[in-house]
């Protein structure tokens, strides 16, 4: 290997944090999935996962505020090195798509304001990273999350399992990009 290539590889390794805390988000306004994982470069383990649920009777402003406050608390408690959020895929219901896009924007703003780097991943990237197949179904994805993290059961609800997958994909993307 040429000397300059070796130096470049070593410089990249030295800059890379040996252990990263990653907050994964599956955005939504009724249920917003989240997962906090730790990636040491060899192994990942899940610190916590779940969903932020808002009431249907609440206004969208109240729902956004509740999500923002809960995410702020998560970020302050776990001090993530980065936030990974799923990109919005085309929604059949435009109104729903716009509301989810608003939530995404708020989350990205919040992370940036708190000094947390943001990585966006496409749904097909997550599927490809976990299963090697960009059109994997939800069950295949959930089984891989269960296997990778050694969970006894698949995380519930689905939004939490998706957030774990998103966090893992973002961590790998950041390490090997």
Known catalytic residues are 26, 86, 159
Distance between CA atoms of 175 and 153, rounded to whole angstroms?
27
Question: How does 135-158 read in b/e, with b if 16+ C-beta sit within 10 Å?
Answer: ebeeeebbebbbebbeeeebbeeb
Other Cβ atoms less than 10 A from the Cβ of 170: the count is 30
- The DSSP symbol for 135 reads T
Helix (H, G, I), strand (E, B) or coil at 37: strand
């Amino acid at each position: 290997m040429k000397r300059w290539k070796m130096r470049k590889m070593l410089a990249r390794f030295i800059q890379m944090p040996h252990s990263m805390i990653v907050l994964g988000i599956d955005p939504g306004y009724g249920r917003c999935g989240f997962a906090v994982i730790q990636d040491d470069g060899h192994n990942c383990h899940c610190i916590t996962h779940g969903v932020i649920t808002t009431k249907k009777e609440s206004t969208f402003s109240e729902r956004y505020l509740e999500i923002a406050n809960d995410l702020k608390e998560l970020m302050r408690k776990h001090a993530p090195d980065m936030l990974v959020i799923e990109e919005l895929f085309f929604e059949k219901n435009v109104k729903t798509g716009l509301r989810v896009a608003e939530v995404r924007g708020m989350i990205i703003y919040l992370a940036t304001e708190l000094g947390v780097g943001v990585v966006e991943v496409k749904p097909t990237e997550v599927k490809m990273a976990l299963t090697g197949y960009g059109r994997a179904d939800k069950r295949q994805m959930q089984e891989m999350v269960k296997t990778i993290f050694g969970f006894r059961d698949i995380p519930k609800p689905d939004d939490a399992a998706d957030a774990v997958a998103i966090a893992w994909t973002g961590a790998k993307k950041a390490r090997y990009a």
